[in-house]
Homo-oligomer: A and B are copies of this chain.
Amino acid sequence: MENSRPSSKRFLDIVSDLRTIIKEEGAVIGDKLPSERVLADRLQVGRSTIREALRSLELLGLIETRRGEGTFLADYKKHQLVEILSTFIMQNPQSFKSVDETRRIHERAAIECISNDPERRTLPVWESFLEKLKGIEPIIREELLQEIVVVSENRLSLKIWFLLKQYSRAPFHETMAEDEKEVASNLLKEMMNGNSQLAVMRYADWLDIVNGERRDEHEC
């Protein structure tokens, strides 16, 4: 009936300790962390345990290691980790719905955010998109969505969106159909006009097209 002070998984404690160290030293992106040997000595564990923790954080993209140089706080702009995840995670049918719904929540919020901001809704990038939508060159759906989420300038929301995108089974990596481009254009126009409510409605229209008509039961 131990109170599990040592949580039976030392490397998990190390992950936590590393976070503390980073915090205490006020390390910023790009900064060098103590070497594995120093960490092992400081935290009083073997180097292999330190490495298990570091390798975990590396796979998450939180740190970056360069042989011969050291370990550095990573620029968390690389989401390559999720590629590996997506092949493993959730065959659970129920969770796909949550993922898609949550992704849409963030997209909708981004659309509203931009529509309500005179600065961002008049960015030249939207004009460019409108032009491209008039043409016949193929456009990937998520190109537009990504731009929207990026411009909304909520880094956490963006991060979450990128994660969810990888897990989503919605066909947002495919090219847009011709009639679909018009709906997307309408979305953009309403957004640029600052009419967030109509923009969101056009977004809903777009979803209807992409997902076919099987959106009968769930509307959140």
List chain A positions with a Cβ less than 8 A from chain B: 8, 11-12, 15-16, 19, 22-23, 29, 48, 51-53, 55-60, 62, 67, 76-77, 79, 81-82, 84-92, 94-95, 98-99, 101-102, 105-106, 108-109, 112-113, 116-117, 152-157, 159-160, 163, 197, 219-220
Contact = CB atoms under 8 A, between A and B. Distances in A.
Dominant secondary structure at the A interface: helix
Contacts of A48: 48, 51
A87 B157 contact: no
Contacts of A23: 91
Given A84-B60, A89-B76, A163-B81, A154 B102 contact: yes
A156 B11 CA distance: 27
A168 to B, nearest CB: 11
**10 interchain residue pairs of minimum CB distance:** A113-B220, A98-B156, A56-B59, A52-B55, A105-B109, A56-B56, A102-B156, A62-B88, A102-B157, A98-B155
A147 to B, nearest CB: 16
A16 B15 CA distance: 23
Contact of A62 (B89, B154, B163): B89
A152 B85 contact: no
Contact of A101 (B52, B86, B157): B157
Contacts of A116: 219-220
Contacts of A77: 92, 95
Given A92-B77, A155-B95, A220-B109, A67 B8 contact: yes
Nearest to A54: B52
* Most chain B beta-carbon neighbours within 10 Å: one of A55, A58, A87, A163: A55
A157 B91 contact: no
A91 to B, nearest CB: 6
B152 A84 contact: no
Given A60-B60, A76-B90, A116-B219, 9 more contacts: A48-B51, A53-B55, A56-B58, A57-B59, A62-B88, A77-B92, A85-B163, A98-B157, A105-B154
